[in-house]
Structure 1
């Protein structure tokens, strides 16, 4: 039986950026500061068939074969599939219970990549997008953070579309920036959903449910990181933008490949980031929100 010295998990990993993150973790781990023995990666997705197909694709991946990255190829990394739907509190709880049972000492890192991008903009789109992208990531963060070792990493994948642009009113922008608790960010998300439903969002909000959901992820991550640090924990919690990546979500219109988009999330999981926590990263560096 293999004894793993490092354990990590990636959500929404059956395709696109999530799949590339798993591949890049396996490729970069041997040369990272984190390497001190075998690594177990959990590739998670809500659809078992797609998740297992992604796992098979990685096992035959030319990049991984050339690098001999996987343990079956003489490398350091094993990848296993687990079902996880961040839009379901029960699914998150089941994954948390599994981690507690299998890894009572905790895992080393979690990259929350799962999310949706819906077409159009109306009350239904706003509600569903916020529920998955914001509340799903918040719930995964809250339930899975206790299963990350002290000094480990938690990375929430957001987007530059969550930037607090001029389309936000000054009062809304100020509330985002000054929030101290995730509950304050959740209040903003609820206000956005209500404003869209009542047709009065234009005064305070952009007409992008995806963008607002990612602003929520950035703000929520910042507040949880601050609370976590105040409690004395050394776990580093950050959010990041992978960039405009060619995936199904962008309908192939991106400027980066999925592997290029994976670089910042992987850096936040494996590299020496000088104690950065509560920050928003893009292009492998800290960015102003």
Structure 2
């Protein structure tokens, strides 16, 4: 049976590269995008579907889930990056946490029951070495805080989900995107390799880990 994939923020950059790679693995791929027109345009270029989804809005998450139905593979890719000092700009903190922590949590909550009942699930949380304590937690302001929290959620939820519902965090590295900048050394396709691998893990694959270049990365 064909697996259904939802890639949030999948209309450009790494998200679009992940979506394209998963279609090549014979998956039904749905791109979640705040701007539905942009999502539909991107989806058409790779043979995917699109749904309007603002991951920072719980009602939008609920509407999305009702519209697309069960999901077997969830890639929490949508993100925001602010470079302003977070204590002087608390709104940056609120949006970052809503987008990169609360949104992934509520999406997981929406789809995990189907994954349990179907004895299969793959959840990939797109993180960053900037949210890693072992790497010095060097992420700018709210971004690093949110990614560290996302990593903590990945680890904590892995203990609550059955082993056949695998949840992992992925660091794509520094990638040439609108967020990463166009001087970055990696292409979107290179950044997408590890999350695609995690989204297609075999039954004996890892869960509750943090990976870069398919190798474990310290929390």
The TM-score normalised by the length of structure 1 is: 0.68
Alignment of 1:243-254 (within 5 A): 243-254=173-184
Match for residue 151 of structure 2? 218
Alignment of 1:157-196 (within 5 A): 157-165=126-134
Q: Is the 8 A contact 2:83 2:141 kept in 1?
A: no
Alignment of 1:2-17 (within 5 A): 5-17=2-14
Match for residue 34 of structure 2? 46
Match for residue 19 of structure 2? 22
Q: How far 1:130 sits from its partner (Å)?
A: 1.8
Match for residue 208 of structure 1? 141
Q: Is the 8 A contact 1:8 1:109 kept in 2?
A: yes
Measure, in 2, the Cα distance between the counterparts of 1:273 and 1:211. 31
Match for residue 146 of structure 1? 113
Q: Is the 8 A contact 2:58 2:106 kept in 1?
A: yes
Q: How far 1:92 sits from its partner (Å)?
A: 0.7
SS at match of 1:44: strand
Match for residue 183 of structure 1? none
The TM-score normalised by the length of structure 2 is: 0.89
Distance change (3 Å), C-alpha of 1:98 and 1:274: same
Q: What is the aligned-residue RMSD (CA, Å)?
A: 2.1
Match for residue 63 of structure 2? 94
Distance change (3 Å), C-alpha of 1:207 and 1:9: closer
Measure, in 2, the Cα distance between the counterparts of 1:162 and 1:47. 27
Match for residue 287 of structure 1? 217
Measure, in 2, the Cα distance between the counterparts of 1:17 and 1:269. 14
SS at match of 2:181: coil
What is the CA deviation profile of residues 212-263 of structure 1, one whole-angstrom value per residue up to 9, with x for unaligned ones? 100111110110111113xxx5211111111110000012232110001000
2:188 to 253, 258, 264: 258
SS at match of 1:250: coil
SS at match of 1:246: coil
Structure possessing the higher radius of gyration over alpha carbons: 1
Runs of 4+ with >4 A deviation: 165-168
Q: Is the 8 A contact 1:116 1:132 kept in 2?
A: yes
Q: Is the 8 A contact 1:99 1:147 kept in 2?
A: no
Q: Is the 8 A contact 2:7 2:77 kept in 1?
A: yes
Structure 2 unaligned residues grouped into runs of 5+: none
Structure 1 unaligned residues grouped into runs of 5+: 31-38, 60-78, 101-105, 169-204
Match for residue 94 of structure 2? 127
Measure, in 2, the Cα distance between the counterparts of 1:22 and 1:10. 7
